[in-house]
C-alpha cells in the first residue's frame, strides 16, 4: 500500500496520496501503516535544507505514534479484529502519513534546495495542515478500547494535543535567507549584478558549495519549467525561470572550477531519438481521426494524442469526449506533445516526406517572454552571465578560457534566447580565435559552442563574415581530437543549410575532400556529421561535379560494402548517391564503380524503410539516366519486386510514387523485350558484365 512508485515520477510539492481500500484487512492496514511510519522516522538523520525544524518535529511526532502502533500490532495478534473506529483512524493516518512522507522527501532533495527555499513559507503551511490532519485522525481513535499500557495511552493523548496545538512556524532563519534571495532577484530585475554578500549567504545556507551541486539545481529547475510549460496553469513559470537564470549566473560567476572529470556534453548534429523510430510503427505517428501523419500533435488528459487541427474540428462539431475512449474531457486542455513532434520530424526527414509545421503562426523566433517564462530577472541573469563569459574568453587565463567555453557550450544548447545573447555579445569572433589554440580541451569546447550556435540564423552570417569557414575546415581536417573534428563537420552541416553558403563552401577546394576524409577515418558519429554536411552541400547543383571529381562515389560504395556499418550511415550514403544519380554524370560514375549489385544487395537485405526508399529513388534515377542497360539488369533480378510492391502500400507518398514509376519501367521493358531476351540468353552476361 505504500506508494513507492511516486517517489521519482511525481512533481515536487505534489502529494498523490491514496486512501486505503475499505475492504483491506485490519492487520494489513496496520502493517502497512507501521512500515510507512518507520520509513518516515528513518529520515531523522538526513539533512533538511529548509524547514528543518518543522521536519524534525514531525518525525518525532511520528516516532511516538509508531511506538503505539507496534504495541497495538503485538497485542492484536491471535485476537479479535480492530474496531471500526480504530480502522477508520488508522486509514486516515495512513493517508496523512503518505503526504508527510512526500513532503519530507521534498525537503531532503539535494537538487531542489533553491526551489524549496523559494517555497519555504508554503511548505511550512503544509506541515501545519498535516499536523491538523493527524490530530483529527487521532480524535477518532478510541484509546479506551485498545489493549495497550496506560503509559502509551497517555503518550497518545499528549501526541494528539501536540498535533493540535503545535505552533509550526515559518523558521526565522529560512525567512532571512529567503529575503536575501528575493533581494538578489530584485537586483536582477533592475539589471543590477547581484551583490556578492547576499548571493553567498543563500549558497552557504543551502550548502551549495560546488559547480556540480549548482548544475543539479539548474537541471531540476529546467525540468520543472518544462512541466510547468506543458500544464495549463503556468503560475510558477516566472519564478522558476528567474531562479534558473540566477543559478546559471551563479555557476558561471561563483564556481570557477568545474569539479568532476566525468561531466560529458553532447552537441552532435543528429538528435537522440533514433531508437524511438526503430521501435515505432508509422501508424503510431498518424492521427486516429484523420489517419494522416500528424503535423502538430497534442495530447488530451486521457493520454491519447491527436493532430491539433483534427481534434479542434472534433470539438468544434459539438463533441466533448475523447474520440478513442469516449471519456469526457476539457476541450481547452490540449498539451503539445513535443517528443512525438520531434520523432515525426526525424521520420519525415529520413523518408523524404515534406515536414509540415504547426498550423499556428507568430512563432518564428523565441522572444524574451516565451524563452524566459516572462521573467525579466531570468533574461538579465543570462545577459550578465554572457558578458562575464565573453570577458573571460578575451582576457582570462587558459583555465578561465576552458571554463568559459564549457559554460558557453552548455548555455548554447538550451534556447534560442541564450544563443541570441551570446551572438549579440560578440562571442563568435572570440570562439574562432580559440579553435586555433593548440589546447585540445579549449579547441573541442570552442568548436562545440560554434556547432550549437550555428543553429541560430545570425550565427551563420557572423561565422562567414569573420572568416570562420577556413578555420572550421582546418579543425575538421587537423583538429587535435576526433571530437573537435566531428563538431566542425556538424557546424558545416548547419552552414550548408543556407544556399549562399553552400556555394561559398563548395568553392573552397578542400571542403569536400576534408569531409570525405572524416567519412573514411572518423567515428560513426563523425562519419554521420560529415555525410549530412556533404548532403547539404549537394543541394547546390554546382557542387555535384566537385563531389564526383573528389571521388565521393567510390568512397560511398566501399562504405556500403562494409557489413559492419550502422544503418544511419547506410541511409546517409544512399541519400547522397540518390542525389548524385539525378544527373547523368552522377549515374555514369555510380555505374562505373560497379555499384548496381551493391545497391541491389542493400535493397534485398535491409530492414530499414528509409534505406529501401533511397534505393528505389537511386535505381529509378539510374534507369532514367542509364538507359536500357540498367533496366535489363533490374528485370533479370526478380528479388527486387517484393520490396517495390511493399513500398507501394507502406512507403511515404514520394516513395510509393517512385516505386510505382520503377515498376512501370520494368514491366514495359519486360513486355517489349520478352521475346528477344529468350532468344539470346548467352549474350546477356557478356554484354552487361561491365554494368555490374
Residue 547, all three cell numbers: 563531389
Segments in 336-455 forming alpha helices (H):
338-350, 368-371, 376-395, 398-414, 416-424, 427-434, 440-453
User: Which pLDDT does position 96 carry in this prediction?
Assistant: 95
User: Which pLDDT does position 186 carry in this prediction?
Assistant: 93
Residue 420, all three cell numbers: 541570441
Residue 110, all three cell numbers: 539535494
Residue 551, all three cell numbers: 571521388
Going from the C-alpha of 641 to that of each of 30, 483, 619, 646, 648, the distances in angstroms are 69, 42, 12, 9, 11
User: Which pLDDT does position 268 carry in this prediction?
Assistant: 41
Of 385, 471, 480, which Cα lies nearest the Cα of 427? 385
User: Which pLDDT does position 540 carry in this prediction?
Assistant: 93
Phi-psi region of 3 (alpha: psi -120 to 50; beta: other; left: phi over 0): beta
Query: 445: Cβ–Cβ under 8 A, 6 or more apart, which residues?
Result: 402, 405, 406, 408, 409
Q: Are 661 and 623 in contact (CB under 8 A)?
A: no
DSSP state of 355: P
Per-10-residue mean pLDDT, the chain, length 692 = 50 90 88 95 94 94 93 72 87 95 95 96 94 92 81 87 82 92 93 87 95 95 88 86 95 84 42 51 79 84 84 85 82 69 68 52 42 79 94 91 95 91 94 93 96 93 93 96 96 94 94 96 93 95 94 93 81 93 92 88 85 89 85 81 81 81 83 59 40 38
DSSP state letters, 111-168? T-HHHHHHTHHHHHHHHHHHHHHHHHHHHH--GGGS-S-HHHHHHHHHHHHHHHH---
State the Cα–Cα distance between residues 454 and 461, nearest whole angstrom: 9
User: Which pLDDT does position 232 carry in this prediction?
Assistant: 75
State the Cα–Cα distance between residues 495 and 493, nearest whole angstrom: 5
Phi, psi (degrees; rounded to nearest 5) at 298: -130, 150
State the Cα–Cα distance between residues 104 and 470, nearest whole angstrom: 57
User: Which pLDDT does position 372 carry in this prediction?
Assistant: 60
Q: Are 589 and 553 in contact (CB under 8 A)?
A: yes
User: Which pLDDT does position 3 carry in this prediction?
Assistant: 44
State the Cα–Cα distance between residues 431 and 226, nearest whole angstrom: 30
Segments in 256-397 forming alpha helices (H):
274-279, 308-316, 338-350, 368-371, 376-395
State the Cα–Cα distance between residues 382 and 400, nearest whole angstrom: 18
Query: 354: Cβ–Cβ under 8 A, 6 or more apart, which residues?
Result: 348
Q: Are 50 and 174 in contact (CB under 8 A)?
A: yes
User: Which pLDDT does position 266 carry in this prediction?
Assistant: 42
User: Which pLDDT does position 595 carry in this prediction?
Assistant: 85
Amino acid at each position: 500500500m505504500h506508494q513507492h512508485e511516486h517517489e521519482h515520477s511525481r512533481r515536487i510539492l505534489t502529494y498523490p496520496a491514496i486512501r486505503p481500500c475499505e475492504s483491506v484487512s485490519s492487520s494489513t492496514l496496520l502493517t502497512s501503516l507501521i512500515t510507512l511510519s518507520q520509513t518516515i522516522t528513518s529520515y531523522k538523520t538526513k539533512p533538511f535544507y529548509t524547514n528543518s525544524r518543522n521536519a524534525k518535529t514531525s518525525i518525532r511526532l511520528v516516532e511516538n505514534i509508531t511506538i503505539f502502533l507496534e504495541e497495538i500490532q503485538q497485542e492484536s495478534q491471535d485476537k479479535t479484529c480492530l474496531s471500526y473506529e480504530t480502522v477508520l483512524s488508522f486509514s486516515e493516518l495512513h493517508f496523512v502519513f503518505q503526504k508527510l512522507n512526500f513532503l519530507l522527501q521534498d525537503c531532503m532533495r539535494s537538487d531542489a534546495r533553491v526551489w524549496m527555499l523559494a517555497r519555504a513559507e508554503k511548505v511550512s503551511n503544509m506541515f501545519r495542515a498535516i499536523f491538523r490532519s493527524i490530530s483529527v485522525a487521532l480524535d477518532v481513535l478510541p484509546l479506551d478500547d485498545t489493549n495497550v499500557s496506560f503509559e502509551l495511552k497517555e503518550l497518545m493523548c499528549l501526541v494528539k494535543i501536540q498535533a493540535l496545538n503545535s505552533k509550526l512556524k515559518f523558521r526565522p532563519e529560512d525567512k532571512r535567507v529567503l529575503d536575501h534571495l528575493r533581494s538578489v532577484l530584485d537586483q536582477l530585475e533592475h539589471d543590477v549584478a547581484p551583490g556578492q554578500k547576499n548571493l553567498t549567504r543563500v549558497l552557504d545556507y543551502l550548502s551549495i558549495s560546488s559547480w556540480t551541486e549548482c548544475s543539479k539545481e539548474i537541471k531540476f529547475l529546467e525540468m520543472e519549467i518544462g512541466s510547468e510549460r506543458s500544464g495549463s496553469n503556468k503560475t510558477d513559470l516566472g519564478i522558476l525561470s528567474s531562479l534558473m537564470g540566477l543559478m546559471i549566473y551563479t555557476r558561471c560567476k561563483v564556481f570557477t572550477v568545474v569539479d568532476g572529470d566525468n561531466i560529458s556534453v553532447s552537441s552532435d548534429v543528429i538528435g537522440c531519438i533514433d531508437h524511438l523510430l526503430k521501435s515505432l510503427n508509422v501508424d503510431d505517428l498518424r492521427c486516429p481521426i484523420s489517419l494522416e501523419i500528424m503535423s502538430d500533435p497534442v495530447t488530451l488528459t486521457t493520454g491519447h494524442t491527436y493532430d491539433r487541427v483534427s481534434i479542434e474540428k472534433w470539438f468544434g462539431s459539438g463533441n466533448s469526449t475523447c474520440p478513442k475512449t469516449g471519456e469526457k474531457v476539457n476541450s481547452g486542455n490540449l498539451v503539445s506533445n513535443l517528443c512525438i513532434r520531434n520523432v515525426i520530424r526525424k521520420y519525415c526527414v529520413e523518408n523524404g516526406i515534406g515536414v509540415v509545421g504547426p498550423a499556428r503562426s507568430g512563432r518564428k523566433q523565441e522572444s524574451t517572454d516565451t524563452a524566459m517564462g516572462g521573467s525579466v530577472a531570468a533574461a538579465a541573469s543570462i545577459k550578465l552571465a554572457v558578458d562575464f563569459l565573453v570577458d573571460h574568453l578575451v582576457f582570462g587565463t587558459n583555465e578561465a578560457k576552458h571554463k568559459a567555453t564549457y559554460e558557453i557550450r552548455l548555455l548554447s544548447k538550451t534556447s534560442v534566447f541564450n544563443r541570441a545573447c551570446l551572438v549579440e555579445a560578440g562571442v563568435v569572433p572570440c570562439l574562432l580565435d580559440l579553435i586555433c589554440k593548440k589546447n585540445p580541451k579549449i579547441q573541442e569546447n570552442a568548436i562545440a559552442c560554434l556547432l550549437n550556435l550555428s543553429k541560430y540564423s545570425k550565427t551563420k552570417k557572423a561565422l562567414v563574415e569573420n572568416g570562420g569557414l577556413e578555420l572550421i575546415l582546418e579543425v575538421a581536417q587537423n583538429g587535435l581530437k576526433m571530437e573537435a573534428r566531428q563538431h566542425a563537420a556538424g557546424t558545416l552541416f548547419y552552414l550548408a543549410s543556407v544556399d549562399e553558403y553552400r556555394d561559398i563552401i563548395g568553392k573552397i577546394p578542400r571542403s569536400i575532400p576534408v569531409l570525405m576524409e572524416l567519412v573514411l577515418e572518423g567515428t560513426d558519429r563523425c562519419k554521420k556529421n560529415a555525410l549530412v554536411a556533404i548532403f547539404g552541400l549537394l543541394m547546390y547543383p554546382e557542387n555535384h561535379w566537385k563531389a564526383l571529381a573528389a571521388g565521393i562515389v567510390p568512397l560511398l560504395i566501399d562504405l556500403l560494402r562494409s557489413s559492419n556499418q550502422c544503418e544511419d550511415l547506410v541511409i546517409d550514403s544512399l541519400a547522397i548517391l540518390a542525389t548524385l544519380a539525378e544527373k547523368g554524370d552522377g549515374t555514369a560514375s555510380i555505374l562505373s564503380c560497379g555499384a548496381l549489385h551493391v545497391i541491389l544487395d542493400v535493397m534485398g537485405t535491409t530492414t530499414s524503410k528509409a534505406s529501401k526508399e533511397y534505393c528505389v529513388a537511386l535505381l529509378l534515377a539510374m534507369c532514367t539516366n542509364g538507359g536500357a542497360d540498367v533496366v535489363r539488369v533490374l528485370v533479370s533480378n526478380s528479388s527486387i519486386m517484393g520490396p517495390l510492391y511493399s513500398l507501394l502500400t507502406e512507403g511515404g507518398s514520394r516513395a510509393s510514387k517512385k516505386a510505382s514509376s520503377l515498376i512501370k519501367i520494368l514491366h514495359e521493358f519486360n513486355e517489349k523485350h520478352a521475346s528477344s531476351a529468350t532468344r539470346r540468353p548467352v549474350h546477356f552476361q557478356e554484354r552487361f558484365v561491365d554494368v555490374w
